[in-house]
Amino acid sequence: QVLVVDDVANGLDDLRAAIDEGKKCTDKPTLIKIRTEIGFGSPSKQGSASSHGAPLGVPEIEATKGRLYGCDPSQDFLVDEDVAAYFKEQADAGDQALAAWDADFAKYKEAHPDKANELERRFNGEIPEGAFDD
């Protein structure tokens, strides 16, 4: 099945709906065709070949940031505080999960040293000794 989404520039609701529709189809694959416009948001390069394969340039980037995304054009790279906080939460959760895994694996290693060593060898991508002796 082929689904077409004509406008993702003004929001992702149609794309989300197409994804949901695609998930309902279980007897064949789904292809979602999304129509976009090259250089979208760029005041003087939107829709033109000059926006493809070449940098927009500082003035055009600044104009696009302010016009389309409401960003501070003077910022080269900015991560909003709420986004940074979310990713910090995820990193902290990952650190906690890793600590729990390490503790569990230490217990496993005590109980099953040979099996734990084999797992560690595989985790490290090491080939077993004598694998190519034949």
Percent of the chain with pLDDT over 90: 56
Model confidence at 40, pLDDT cuts 50, 70, 90, reads: confident
pLDDT, tens digit (0-9, with 9 covering 90-100), for 68-97: 777 888 888 888 899 999 999 999 999 999
A 10 A CB-CB count for 131 gives 8
Please report which confidence band the pLDDT of residue 52 belongs to, taking 50, 70 and 90 as the band edges: confident
Write the burial class of residue 71 (CB in 10 Å: 0-12 exposed, 13-18 middle, 19+ buried).
Answer: middle
Residue 4 gets which letter from DSSP?
Answer: E
The pLDDT assigned to 64 comes to 87
The one-letter amino acid at 59: P
Q: What is the pTM of this model?
A: 0.52
Whether 41 shows a pLDDT value over 90: the answer reads no
Q: What is the mean pLDDT of residues 41-57?
A: 86
Write the DSSP string, 29-97: --EEEE---TTTT-TTTTTSGGGSSS---HHHHHHHIIIII---TT-SS---HHHHHHHHHHHHHHHHH
> What does DSSP assign to residue 12?
S
Q: Which residue has the higher pLDDT, 110 or 69?
A: 110
